[in-house]
Amino acid sequence: MKRDVSFVLNGLEVTVAVDGHDRLIDVLRGPLGHIGTKEGCGEGECGACTVLIDGLAVNACLYPAMEVEGKQVATIEGLRDEENRLSVLQQAFVDRGAIQCGFCTPGMIMSAKALLDANPVPTEEEIRDALLGNLCRCTGYVQIIEAVKEAAIRLKDGS
C-alpha cells in the first residue's frame, strides 16, 4: 500500500509515493533518481549510503522512507551549485587525491559535511570519529583525512 510522503530534498520540496517497506535509499535512487547515494552493504555497516537528515549523517539503507515526512534531506547531488561547480569539500577530495574507486566517496563526503557543519575546525581525532562509520577499501583513509582538513581550512578562509 503506497502512501505519499513529502520532504525537502536538497532544498526543494518533493512528494513521492512510498511503500511501507521502502527504505530511504530505495526512494532516493529509484523514483527520485538520486543515484549519487550508493548502496554498499544494505546493513548500515559501510556508510556508502550516508545522507543528511535534518543535518545529521544517517545511513539511508536503514532509514524507513515513511519516516522522512517533513524532514530536510541532503544528498551528494545537493552539494554542487547551479553551475555544476563542486563545493569546497568536494573540491578538496578531488585535489587531495582522496578518491580512488569512488564508491564510498558520496557517503564519505556527506559524513564529512555533517561534521564540518557542526564543527568547522575539527581535530584529526574528531575527523576519525565522525567518519568511523564510512568504510573505504582503496585509500587507507590518509588522503581523505587530508581532504577534510583542507576543506576546513578553505572554508575558514572563505576561499
Partner 1 sequence: MKKFHHIGKEMPRPESRDKALGKAHYLHDIERPGMLYGKIRFSDHPHARIKHIDISKAERLPGVKAVITAQNTPEIRIGFLRDNFALKPDKVRQYRDEIAGVAAIDPDIAAEAVELIDVAYEPLPGVFGPEDAMKEGAPLVHETDPQGRPRTGNLLALRFHHASGDPEAGRRAAAFVVEGEFSTPRIQQSCMGTAGCIAEFDGNHNLTIRTKTQIPFLAQRDFNRALSDMGLRGKNTRVIVPTLGGAFGSGLDTHAYEYIAILLAFRTGQPVKILYTRDEEFAYLSPRQSCRIRISQGCDRTGRLTFRHVDVLQDNGAYTSWGATYPSVMMMPATSLYRVPSVYFDAKLVYTNNTYCQAMRGYGNPELNWALENNMDELAEAAGIDPYDFRRINCNEPGETTPMGLRISTCGLKECLESVAGKLDWKNQRKKGKRRGVGMASLIHVGGGGRIYRSDGSGMILKLDDFGNVNVYHGGVEMGQGLHSVLTLAVAEALGVRPEKVYINPVDTGTCPWDVGTHASRGAFMACHGAILAANKLRDQIFAFAGELFPREIEKNIKKLQKKDPDFKPPDFDVREAAKPERFELRDGILFLKDAPAEPWLQLELGRLLRSIHFRNQGQMLTTEAFYDPPNELPDFEKGYGNMSATYAYGTQGAEVEVDTETGEVKILQMVAAHDVGKVLNPPALKGQIYGALAQGVGYALYEEVLSQEGRIMNPNFRDYKIPRFHEMGFPIELDFIETNDAFGPFGAKGVGEPGLVPTAPAISNAIYNAIGVRIRDLPITPEKILAALKNK
Which of 80, 118, 123, 153 touches partner 1 by CB under 8 A? 80
Q: How far is the CB of 71 from partner 1 (least distance, A)?
A: 20
Which of 10, 139, 151, 152 touches partner 1 by CB under 8 A? 139
| 80-84 contacts, C-beta under 8 A, 24 or more apart | none
Q: How far is the CB of 41 from partner 1 (least distance, A)?
A: 4
Q: How far is the CB of 36 from partner 1 (least distance, A)?
A: 2
Q: Give me the sign of the Cα torsion angle 72, 81, 133, 19.
A: positive
CB 48 within 8 Å of CB 62: no
Measured from the CB atom, the residue of 16 and 34 that comes closer to partner 1 is: 34
Helix (H), strand (E), coil (C) string for the chain: CCEEEEEEECCEEEEEEECCCCEHHHHHHCCCCCCCCCCCCCCCCCCCCEEEECCEEEECCCCEHHHHCCCEEECHHHCCCCCCCCCHHHHHHHHCCCCCCCCCHHHHHHHHHHHHHHCCCCCHHHHHHHCCCCCCCCCCCHHHHHHHHHHHHHHHHCC
Measured from the CB atom, the residue of 5 and 139 that comes closer to partner 1 is: 139
Q: How far is the CB of 147 from partner 1 (least distance, A)?
A: 10
Q: How far is the CB of 54 from partner 1 (least distance, A)?
A: 20
- Residues 12-51 contacting partner 1, CB under 8 A: 29, 34-43, 45-46, 48
Which of 17, 121, 142, 153 touches partner 1 by CB under 8 A? 142
Binding site for partner 1 (CB under 8 A): 29, 34-43, 45-46, 48, 75-77, 79-80, 84, 86, 90-91, 93-97, 99-106, 109, 125, 127-129, 131-132, 134-143, 145
